């Protein structure tokens, strides 16, 4: 006997299972089945496709008028952090830029202070709330970075919280060591601090899958980023980089040369570097929610990257300074408006390609896959990328069990 059948699905969204990230035109290819059925047994997908026969199951969900898809993947978050930075809003109103606030000891460094002050349990509780909010918005696979400790004790504290969350909720989480995220005010020099972070690599390996660095004016240079990435690879890490977020330093080209699993942000990447995407499997993780929140006019050139046959994914970059939302649906809508991506491209960018950017087996609901599924209160798949700022989730199903069932009736 099957455990669960979801039937009468108005639109069933079926991203293609592939070994490699979808590149260029392939990102626009997405199977949409009308009148679909999904069958689940023992937490796994038995069938997902057009309705062809009646299935018996312990539980049946009627998805009339709804969209059903794999659960989403958020491939770039700074989930674990102390405090918040609403006080920076007035600095921004007075015209201070993101890098100016950081240079004055605010920005990332202000979150470092709050994160150092918080106990592991306090950080856990705060991140747990944020993670549960993400799950309520349809996300079941998450990448989570450190980078607000900037010393051994506090970087490990963040990574431990991330690992504890993954274990408690049995989630597809990936943990990233982002020790070189900023240079502490009391550091002897950038180089000395970078060496300190490089020396931590063997110790944090137990808790982290990836190593990441913030390559930016006033933070870490291309040469420093290259050295860090090469050292991290020697210690068995796959590498990532915050690249070309504000200034065009060439981080995308470096990521491709170093065979990074992803290069993230890429707002200011050069045309020359974008061309290199063609012969690379590095996933360009674009974070349009950040560009929106930083109030920039120029967004990452997603269309140009796809024309160069690149692989792109979309993620939130959730953090307390440059993108304060952990609602990936909101960022999907910003991607539609500002990156000029099609609904098909966006769905693939937050499922299969996001999964490739963090090396998780997620984002598809083919036979044999984990039954991680979202039912959407939406008449078609385009609707989710069109109506922004609200939660379209009806139900979230994890390993075949309904874990979120949103009831809009009032108490
Ligand atoms: O990806 N730019 C570097 N890191 C984050 C922001 C972190 C923060 O402002 O606290 C980002 O945008
Ligand atoms: Fe980030």
Tens digits of per-residue pLDDT, 4-36?
999 999 999 999 999 999 999 999 999 999 999
Closest ligand 1 atom to residue 178 Cα is 4
Residue of 322, 324, 326, 331 best suited for mutating to test ligand 1, as the one with most atoms within 8 Å of CB:
322
pLDDT of residue 95: 93
pLDDT average, residue stretch 59-77: 99
pLDDT average, residue stretch 242-257: 97
Scored b (16 or more CB within 10 A) or e, 336-347 reads bebbebebbbbb
pLDDT average, residue stretch 394-405: 98
Kindly indicate the confidence band of residue 39, based on its pLDDT and cuts at 50, 70 and 90.
Answer: very high
Phi-psi region of 122 (alpha: psi -120 to 50; beta: other; left: phi over 0): alpha
What does pTM read for this prediction?
0.98
Mean pLDDT over each residue of the chain, to the nearest integer:
97
Cβ of 242 closer than 6 Å to ligand 1, yes or no, is yes
pLDDT average, residue stretch 304-314: 98
pLDDT of residue 363: 98
Tens digits of per-residue pLDDT, 138-177?
999 999 999 999 999 999 999 999 999 999 999 999 999 9
Ligand-binding annotation for 116, yes or no, is: no
Is 90 exceeded by the pLDDT of residue 397? Answer: yes
Residues with CB under 5 A from ligand 2 (ion): 317
Cβ of 106 closer than 6 Å to ligand 1, yes or no, is no
CA distance 138 to 23: 24
pLDDT average, residue stretch 265-290: 98
Q: Could you give the C-alpha distances from 138 to 59, 168, 246, in angstroms and in order?
A: 21, 18, 30
Ligand-binding annotation for 121, yes or no, is: no
CA distance 34 to 44: 22
Cβ of 77 closer than 6 Å to ligand 1, yes or no, is no
Tens digits of per-residue pLDDT, 311-363?
999 999 999 999 999 999 999 999 999 999 999 999 999 999 999 999 999 99
pLDDT average, residue stretch 178-200: 97
Tens digits of per-residue pLDDT, 93-112?
999 999 999 998 899 999 99
Helix (H) or strand (E) holding 132: helix 120-136
182, 155 in Cβ contact below 8 A? no
pLDDT of residue 105: 86
Is 90 exceeded by the pLDDT of residue 61? Answer: yes
**By CB neighbour count within 10 A (0-12 exposed, 13-18 middle, 19+ buried), where does 126 fall?**
buried
Ordered structural domains, the chain, with CATH = 2-70+364-405 (2.30.40.10), 73-357 (3.20.20.140)
Dihedral of alpha carbons 401, 406, 407, 411, sign:
positive
Tokens of 89: 């809003």
Q: Could you give the C-alpha distances from 190 to 174, 186, 220, 223, in angstroms and in order?
A: 27, 10, 7, 12
């Amino acid at each position: 006997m099957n455990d669960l059948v979801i039937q009468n699905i108005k639109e069933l969204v079926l991203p293609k299972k592939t070994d490699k990230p979808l590149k260029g035109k392939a990102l626009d290819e997405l199977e949409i089945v009308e009148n679909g059925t999904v069958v689940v047994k023992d937490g796994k997908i038995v069938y997902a496709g057009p309705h062809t026969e009646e299935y018996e199951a312990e539980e049946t969900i009627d998805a009339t008028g709804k969209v059903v898809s794999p659960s989403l993947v958020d491939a770039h978050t700074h989930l674990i952090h102390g405090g918040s930075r609403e006080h920076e809003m007035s600095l921004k109103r007075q015209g201070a830029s993101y890098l100016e606030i950081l240079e004055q000891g605010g920005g990332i460094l202000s979150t470092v202070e709050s994160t150092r002050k918080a106990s592991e349990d306090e950080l856990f509780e705060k991140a747990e709330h944020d993670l549960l909010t993400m799950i309520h918005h349809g996300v079941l696979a998450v990448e989570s970075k450190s980078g607000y400790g900037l010393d051994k004790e506090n970087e490990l504290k963040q990574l431990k919280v991330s690992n504890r969350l993954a274990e408690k909720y049995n989630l597809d989480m990936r943990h990233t060591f982002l020790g070189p995220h900023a240079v502490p005010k009391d550091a002897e020099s950038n180089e000395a601090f970078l060496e300190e972070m490089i020396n931590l690599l063997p110790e944090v390996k137990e808790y982290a899958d990836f190593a990441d660095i913030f390559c930016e004016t006033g933070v870490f240079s291309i040469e420093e980023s290259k050295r860090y990435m090469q050292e991290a690879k020697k210690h068995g890490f796959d590498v990532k980089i915050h690249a070309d977020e504000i200034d065009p330093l060439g981080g995308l080209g470096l990521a491709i040369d170093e065979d990074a699993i992803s290069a993230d942000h890429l707002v200011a990447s050069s045309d020359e570097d974008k061309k290199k995407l063609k012969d690379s499997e590095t996933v360009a993780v674009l974070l349009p929610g950040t560009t929106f929140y930083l109030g920039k006019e120029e967004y990452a050139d997603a269309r140009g990257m796809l024309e160069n046959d690149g692989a792109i994914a979309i993620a939130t970059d959730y953090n307390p300074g440059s993108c304060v939302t952990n609602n990936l649906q909101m960022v999907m809508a910003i991607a539609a408006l500002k990156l000029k991506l099609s609904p098909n491209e966006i769905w693939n960018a937050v499922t299969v390609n996001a999964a490739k950017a963090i090396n998780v087996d997620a984002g598809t609901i083919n036979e044999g896959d984990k039954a991680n599924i979202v039912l959407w209160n939406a008449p078609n798949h385009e609707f989710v990328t069109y109506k922004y700022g609200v939660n379209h989730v009806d139900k979230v199903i994890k390993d075949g069990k309904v874990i979120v069932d949103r009831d809009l009736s009032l108490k």
